[in-house]
Structure 1
Amino acid sequence: MAPLVVAPRQEDGCRSNNDVPVAWPAIREDDMDILDTLGIREKNQGASTGTRWLRSEGHDVLEVVSPIDGRRLAAVDLASEQDYRECAAAAREAFRSWRLVPAPKRGEIVRRIGEALRARKQALGTLVSLEMGKSLQEGLGEVQEMIDICDFAVGQSRQLYGVTMASERPEHRLYEQYHPLGVVGIVTAFNFPVAVWAWNAMLAAICGDTCLWKPSSRTPLTAIAVQHILAEVVAANDLPEGLFNLVIGRGGTIGELLLHDRHVPLISFTGSTRAGRRVAATVAARLGRTILELGGNNAIIVTPHANLELAVPAIVFSAVGTAGQRCTTTRRLIVHQSIADRVTAALVKAYRSLRIGSPLDERNHVGPLIDRRAAAAYLDALQTLRSQGGSVLCGGRVLAGPGYESGCYVEPVVATAANDFPIVQQETFAPILYVIKYSGAVDNAIALHNAVPQGLSSAIFTDNLREAEIFLAAAGSDCGIANVNIGTSGAEIGGAFGGEKETGGGRESGSDAWKGYMRRQTNTINHGTALPLAQGIRFELERDRE
């Protein structure tokens, strides 16, 4: 990789706490001890059937480095094609028995997984921070999200309901039911390395499915740690091999095998829109199903009726949380021109107070990007923004010097832009907030809001009931998630998560998302002695005469 060019500070008077040296080293030895606690070794196998780690020959080796300080954490032997086939076969075989287990009994296993996660929350949350770079509080919150979805799934295991409809035929019963689907392929991204897996795997498990997990190659260690936790539950409960399978490998090999595998009826994919198009086309070609969670280009509208004391902190967290690497991160701020200067000034002041540094230090607000490639993309986006007519009001540097040796720490940016700038129309996975002014009624702001290809999360800040209802109505936000007086990030597991347009249309987590992991069946029972046909059709055979 070419050396990273560090951008000079902008002459905007936007100084921050990052001009003050931070405490170092960022990763302490006791932080590293959690690797051993979670079963992470110097070198780890990248494929598991839940009870066995596979050791075929000819592996590529992946070195895992922390974005916090560039320290090597461990190495992983990537799964081979043979490893994939063995895990896939184990998943298919396990499904044959798992689908017959009563759903509440499957829920009991998920409850025990939740308890195992509770016992390892601190260690696993710390590993999320070490490997991905999000703050320790966010790492712990991600594990809590896993625990919460386990609790949700346990309750759902007793409510895999169908409905009964009125039949038009006498002495007939018409109803629908849901059956286990099969092997579910789960492809997760680096930014939520374990929570998104849990959204899918815990629902799939109570629905009677088995799982085949391909995590991001940027965050394989958290997946391995989860697999060790699962193995304990599987062994303690005498569960079949192949219930939860892990294959860590490159997209061009393991990913392609998974997408083309006709024995995997459902692929749940989280990633970029570009990659999602490939997933959708490949799986559709074999008439498989997909749950797609792709790009977000989320906006917050701030109207003249907004409570700014509420709005500004929400905007800052939504824009800089996880260093802007959430799919629900706020990337566009659409603010009424009458209050734009006031809101922008408040944001710049807030950004100046942000502390950037080790995510393991709770005094810091912003940790690193996932790697130097992400930092380079941040600089490229800012250069493109300026070339298209925008300006940077605050931030704009990749930080260097003591505490920032990894080259992954960047200053969150507040910038002015127009909604139709090409750079604004795409998602940059970094803490860059584009401030866009609107005039007139809230309808004009909504038109700007909807004028991007993505449609994941959205929010409006207003104390005007009419504005809020317009935003939530059919002609309002075109996103899968629409909030009033809260930011765009931080969705609860109780609601279905997902978006529209180039976000992919998938739904995961709460509400009735469980239905996506099952096959739906309509049933009719004739409990009479006649054979009436639907729609009044008559079909009579001539009877034999004596």
Structure 2
Amino acid sequence: MDAHAIDLPDGRLFVGGVWEEGTGAEIVSIFPADGSVNRVLRGASIADGERAIARAKAAQADPAWRRLKSHERARFLHRIADGIEANVERIAFIQTRDTGKTLRETRALAASAAGTFRYYGAVLETSDDLATVQRGDALTLSLHEPIGLVAAITPWNSPIASDAQKVAPALAAGNAVLLKPASWSPLVALELARIVEAAGLPAGLFSVLPGAGSEIGNLLVEHPDIGRVSFTGGTSTGRALARKAAEKLMPISLELGGKSPTIVFADADMDVALAGVLFGIFSSTGQSCIAGSRLFVERSIHDGFVERLVAATRKLKVGHPFDPATQVAPLVHPTHRDSVAAYVQLARNEGAEVLCGGAAPEGPAYDGGAYYLPTILAGVANTARICREEVFGPVLVVIPFDDEADVIAQANDNDYGLACGLWTRDFPRAMRVGRAIRAGTVWVNTYKQFSISTPFGGDGESGLGREKGREGLRAYMTQKSVYHDLSGAPHPWAGEAIR
């Protein structure tokens, strides 16, 4: 398939199973590699959102869906997975145009999304409710039922994979799902809607509503018919949404920011550690909540390791996302590139030494694009702002450490708690340090490896709750206890009153 011949989604929204022109504010999707316009569309208005919610409520209440047996719902998820797999090249092209990620990465994200739908189809086939231990004259059951209407709010950095991680378990649980993608990357979610429709999912159970968070995001969180929200994005927005959810006493999961430590001990395999550190911070152009943005290197090897790291970083291929050789593609938007550059200038003001990068690349190949060179900073303490705040770009800070106690204290001295990477040949040390680090995920001698079967989430400013895994299905369900009397006798409390 010639990727350049692929038509982008036409910009209509998927409102409760109906393709409609949005009536909200204008959204301009650009190609970050050169600034050209992909599509101009109208986002969802409050009225569009209200209409989608009304259609979702009717569809989810229909016994034809709500009472569908688990293995029958699983068929829809498998058909969606088939549709994604049949359209990997199309999805990858659309997402690359939307986000600037390399085609190599967007192909992998599309394949991951298909795997997520297929996994939750399999979970449905093997998920049982429980008969709890009987402690009286009643059969006691613990049952799980759909919540009803679920909202999924996803970020711009990995939309198809993030969408799937929310939509697949929510549909598997029997809910209707309203998806709000980020305004910087609306197109791939609309392509997902086309695939979901083609899979035969009953109309109304899925909507895609790109639009302003201040309008559509708030509507989805505040609306009385929405029973759960799953949000991935910035910490300040997540905190605001959590306050709104608390007013409704509504469950919400929040996958937020990170300032993840990566730690290289003196006994590590240096080649493995170098490759892992480079991948951890510079893949996805650093636009990842789990990016390993704080590097701690044991003092005895610090200078030699950093010298090799800088040399390797300078060799990374910064280029067009359609070039198969590209390792570092453009950032998602010029505004975001400027934010990253401002953080590097802040670090300079704090006394940081720029070991490499620290600027946009020059030359005609980069004209009009939102490019920024992979950057390594040194010479600042862990207390500097560049070490405290999420940059969300290809910027790494290197800090030496002396021993386990020192690096554990420094790594944990941060408001975030999302991920951590460790490089060491000492298995007991890896277990000690990994258990001591406050993080939802710890990688040992690797980084950014994922499995849909393994829970993911963070602590502290990195969020609330977990996604993925078998329990990821239960998160989109409500639990009900049932007591079925087996004695057949009147309750003795009534006594003579019933005789």
Higher helix share: 2
Q: Give a deviation string over 1:277-310, Cα, whole Å, max 9, x none.
A: 1111111111111111100111111111211111
How many angstroms does 1:178 deviate by? Answer: 0.7
Corresponding residue of 2:339: 377
Matched, 1:503 2:462: yes
Classify the secondary structure of the residue corresponding to 2:484: strand
- Counterpart residue number, 1:151: 118
2:306 maps to 1:344: yes
**Counterpart for residue 325 of structure 1:** 287
Shift of 1:47: 4.2
Q: CA deviation at 1:253?
A: 1.6
- 1:66-465 mapped onto 2 (5 Å cutoff): 66-97=31-62, 98-169=65-136, 171-234=137-200, 239-416=201-378, 417-440=380-403, 442-465=404-427
The amino acid that maps onto 1:138 is: E
Q: CA RMSD, aligned part only?
A: 1.8
Q: How many residues align?
A: 496
User: C-alpha deviations, 1:312-344, integer Å up to 9, x for none?
Assistant: 001101110010001111101111101111110
Choose 1 or 2 for highest CA Rg.
1
Tell me if 1:517 matches 2:476.
yes
Q: Distance in 2 between matches of 1:205 and 1:479?
A: 29
The Cα of 1:397 is off from its aligned counterpart by 0.8
CA distance in 2: counterparts of 1:286 and 1:140, whole angstroms: 39
Output the amino acid matched with 2:457: G
Gaps of 5+ in 1: 1-28, 533-538
Taking structure 1 as the reference length, the TM-score comes to: 0.88
1:485 equivalent in structure 2: 445
Measured against aligned partners, the alpha-carbon deviations of 1:483-510 in whole angstroms (never above 9, x if no partner) come to 11112x2322121111111111221122
Give the Å deviation of 1:174.
Answer: 2.4
Superposition deviation, residue 545 in structure 1: 10
SS of 1:53's equivalent in the other structure is: strand
Distance in 2, matches of 1:445 and 1:163, equals 44
- Structure 1 residue identity aligned to 2:496: R
Is contact 1:161–1:178 with CA below 8 Å preserved after alignment? no
Aligned to 1:540: 493
Counterpart residue identity of residue 276, structure 2 = A
Query: Would the aligned equivalents of 1:398 and 1:407 in 2 still touch at CA under 8 Å?
Result: no
Secondary structure (helix, strand or coil) at the match of 1:403 reads helix
SS of corresponding position for 1:174: strand
Give yes or no for contact 1:146–1:195 (8 Å, CA) kept in 2: yes
Matching residue of 2:7: 35
The 1:96/1:464 distance shift into structure 2, 3 A limit, reads same
SS in 2 for 1:508: coil
Aligned match of 2:26 in 58, 61, 64?
Answer: 61
Provide, for residues 409-444 of structure 1, a one-character-per-residue CA deviation record: whole Å limited to 9, x for no partner: 00111111321112211100111111111102x132
What is the DSSP-based 3-state SS (H/G/I as helix, E as strand, rest coil) of the residue aligned with 2:257? coil
TM-score (norm 2): 0.96
- Give % identity: 28
* 1: CA distance, partners of 2:119 / 2:216: 31
Distance verdict in 2 for CA 1:464–1:87, change over 3 Å = same
Matched-pair contact (CA < 8 Å) for 1:180–1:518: yes
Contact in 2 for aligned 1:160/1:178 (Cα 8 Å): no
What letter corresponds to residue 100 of structure 1 in structure 2?
A: R
Q: Runs in 1 of length 4+ with deviation above 3 angstroms? A: 29-32, 529-532, 539-542
Assess, with a 3 A threshold, how the Cα gap between structure 1 residues 373 and 530 changes in structure 2: closer, same or farther.
same
